[in-house]
């Protein structure tokens, strides 16, 4: 038996979903509200609904506005494929491709937002409701939101499809919310993938959010949210994962692709955990704690910083030099424990030239605990790459797997700035690799094979 609270956009009797799925979904939401108008009827009355999007290409011209709880919009496939490779492939090669656009249950965002109207104006899905209680339990699952194209940014590069600018957002939540779920989605070629304000118990799990200017942004304030098991990768101007004024975030088991200005950027975030992730970046500033982030745990992650190997994107970076640090910490009582951090780069690409790259940079705050981090810094001569632009996969994997003929790169493993005191740094760099005022901070260097440590010698004879 078909439920009256189950809708299929292709069979709904109003409009044409292939021409404007946004208008269809708005009409469905209006129908839900008209049928579920009583807040309390026999201890129920507003169960919400499911809106189903079958596989297909659906144009979205009208913004979807969601102001009802318990709504699930679900498709049958995230349909992600790389548009970046597609737009950087010569036309003669592209003519031989088996497919050139994302697929699955795909929404083509064909809006033309005006930047003056604000970020929300460019959202395919705009969620906002005033009054009490907060809007709750809205779910997005298993479909694709495709921004189609980026736009020229006036920089003179004549490279519109690599600007990561188009004013479009996939999902924008503009009011306080509870228990939202975003799962199994594919978001691509949007200036902003997912932006959520004032979230409580938000779960962003198992999505493919990449080739977006910014991927996941938690704004305003919030708590107790989870970002886990995602494939994420922002552009060189934006953040793969960004959060401000949140507490109790779990960032776990994500695979974060390179090219984002940062892998994770926290501003004023407290008592949160970043654990078990794989972070890859082409630039410094992979993990940034800004605006006094406190009591956060960063543990058991793998960080890799190397140089962009793919020719079409080598002219871009995030504007930071190698003295900024791969991990940049502004805050107090954070724990950075048992991470593996690799940096491998040809010395000619270090900025400033001949500088000693900084791996962990503690710029302010106190009481940070940095311990048992394994830092591997190497350099090798970059190879001339004459692979075609379409060979992005083989180019990047080849660079990733290259570990032969590497030489040690001299780095500052940990730098504790003068404005930061009462920190503890243990086994995260040799004595000569750690720069700090040891009269106001605690330090123990990583033991060096074949060298008898005076510290251990004193302990043995005490």
Residue of higher predicted confidence among 174 and 113: 174
User: Residue 421's CB: how many other CB atoms inside 10 A?
Assistant: 19
For a pLDDT cut of 90, what percent of the chain falls above it? Answer: 84
Of the candidate ranges 3-12, 134-143, 392-401, 437-446, the one whose mean pLDDT is the lowest: 392-401
| SS3 state at 266 | strand
pLDDT of 119 reads 85
Determine the pLDDT at residue 461: 47
Does residue 378 carry a pLDDT above 70? yes
pLDDT of 34 strictly over 60: yes
Taking alpha carbons only, the member of 239, 359, 369 closest to residue 294 is 369
Indicate if the pLDDT at residue 162 is higher than 50.
Answer: yes
The overall average pLDDT reported for the chain is 93
Mention every residue, 6+ apart, whose C-beta is less than 8 A from residue 32: 5, 48, 49, 68, 71
- Lowest mean pLDDT: which of 96-105, 269-278, 313-322, 453-462? 453-462
Q: Which residue has the higher pLDDT, 45 or 134?
A: 134
DSSP structural state of residue 451: -
Tokens of 154: 């006036």
Can you tell me whether residue 317 is helix, strand or coil? coil
Q: Which two tokens stand for residue 71?
A: 């709504």
Q: What is the pLDDT of residue 313?
A: 85
Is the pLDDT reported for residue 166 higher than 50? yes
User: Dihedrals φ, ψ of 6, to 5°?
Assistant: -115, 125
Give residue 105's Cα distance to chain centre.
23
What is the predicted pLDDT for the residue at 462? 42
Q: What is the pLDDT of residue 112?
A: 87
Number of other residues whose CB lies within 10 A of the CB of residue 312: 17
Which of 392, 439, 400 is closest to 90 using CA atoms? 392
Average pLDDT of the residues in 394-419: 82
Q: What's residue 323's pLDDT?
A: 98
Confidence at residue 455, expressed as pLDDT on a 0 to 100 scale: 53
Rg (CA), the chain: 24
Look up the pTM and report it: 0.93
User: What confidence tens digit (pLDDT) does each residue in 272-307 have?
Assistant: 999 999 999 999 999 999 999 999 999 999 999 999
Q: In the β-sheet with 177-178, what is the strand arrangement from edge to edge? A: 135-136, 177-178, 199-200, 222-223, 246-247
* Number of Cβ within a 10 Å radius of residue 172: 24
pLDDT of residue 456: 47
Q: What is the pLDDT of residues 247-275, one digit of tens each?
A: 999 999 999 999 999 999 999 999 999 99
pLDDT at 222: 98
DSSP 194-212: EEEESEES-EEES-EEEEE
In this structure, what DSSP letter does residue 431 have? G
- Helix ranges (H only) for 228-271 are none
Mean pLDDT is lowest, of 328-342, 401-415, 417-431, for 401-415
pLDDT at 99 over 50: yes
The CA distance from 8 to 12, in Å, is 6
pLDDT at residue 406, as a whole number: 87
Q: How does residue 459 score in pLDDT terms, banded at 50, 70 and 90?
A: very low
């Amino acid at each position: 038996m078909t439920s009256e609270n189950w809708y299929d956009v292709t069979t709904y009797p109003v409009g044409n979903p292939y021409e404007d799925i946004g208008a269809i979904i708005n009409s469905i939401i209006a129908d839900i509200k008209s049928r579920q108008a009583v807040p309390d009827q026999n201890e129920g009355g507003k169960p919400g609904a499911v809106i189903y999007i079958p596989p297909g290409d659906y144009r979205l011209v009208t913004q979807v506005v969601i102001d009802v709880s318990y709504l699930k919009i679900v498709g049958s496939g995230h349909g992600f494929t790389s548009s970046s490779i597609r737009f950087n492939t010569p036309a003669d090669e592209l003519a031989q491709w088996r497919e050139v656009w994302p697929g699955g249950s795909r929404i083509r965002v064909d809006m033309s937002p005006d930047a003056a109207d604000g970020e929300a104006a460019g959202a395919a899905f705009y969620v906002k409701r005033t009054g009490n209680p907060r809007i709750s339990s809205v779910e997005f699952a298993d479909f694709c939101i495709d921004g189609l194209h980026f736009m020229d940014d006036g920089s003179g590069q004549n490279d519109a499809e690599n600007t990561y600018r188009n004013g479009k957002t996939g999902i924008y939540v503009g009011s306080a919310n509870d228990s939202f779920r975003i799962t199994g989605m594919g978001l691509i070629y949007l200036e902003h993938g997912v932006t959520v304000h004032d979230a409580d118990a938000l779960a962003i799990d198992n999505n493919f959010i990449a080739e977006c200017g910014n991927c996941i942004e938690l704004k305003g304030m919030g708590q107790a949210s989870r970002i886990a098991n995602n494939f994420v990768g922002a552009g060189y101007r934006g953040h793969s994962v960004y959060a401000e004024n949140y507490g109790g975030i779990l960032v776990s088991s994500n695979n974060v692709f390179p090219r984002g200005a940062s892998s994770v950027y926290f501003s004023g975030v407290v008592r949160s955990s970043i654990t078990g992730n794989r972070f890859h970046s082409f630039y410094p500033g992979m993990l940034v704690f800004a605006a006094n982030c406190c009591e956060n745990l960063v543990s058991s992650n793998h960080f890799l910083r190397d140089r962009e190997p793919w020719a079409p994107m080598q002219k871009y970076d995030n504007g930071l030099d190698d003295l900024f640090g791969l991990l940049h910490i502004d805050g107090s009582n954070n724990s950075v424990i048992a991470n593996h951090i690799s940096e491998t780069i040809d010395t000619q690409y270090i900025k400033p030239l001949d500088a000693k790259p900084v791996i962990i940079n503690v710029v302010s705050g106190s009481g940070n605990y940095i311990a048992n981090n394994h830092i591997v810094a190497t350099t090798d001569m970059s190879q001339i790459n004459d692979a075609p632009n379409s060979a992005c996969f083989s180019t990047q994997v080849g660079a990733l797997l290259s570990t032969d003929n590497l030489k040690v790169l001299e780095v500052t493993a940990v730098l504790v700035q003068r404005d930061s005191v009462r920190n503890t740094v243990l086994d995260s760099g040799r004595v000569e690799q750690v720069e700090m005022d040891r009269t106001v901070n605690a330090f123990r260097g990583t033991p060096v094979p074949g060298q008898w440590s005076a510290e251990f010698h004193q302990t043995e004879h005490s």
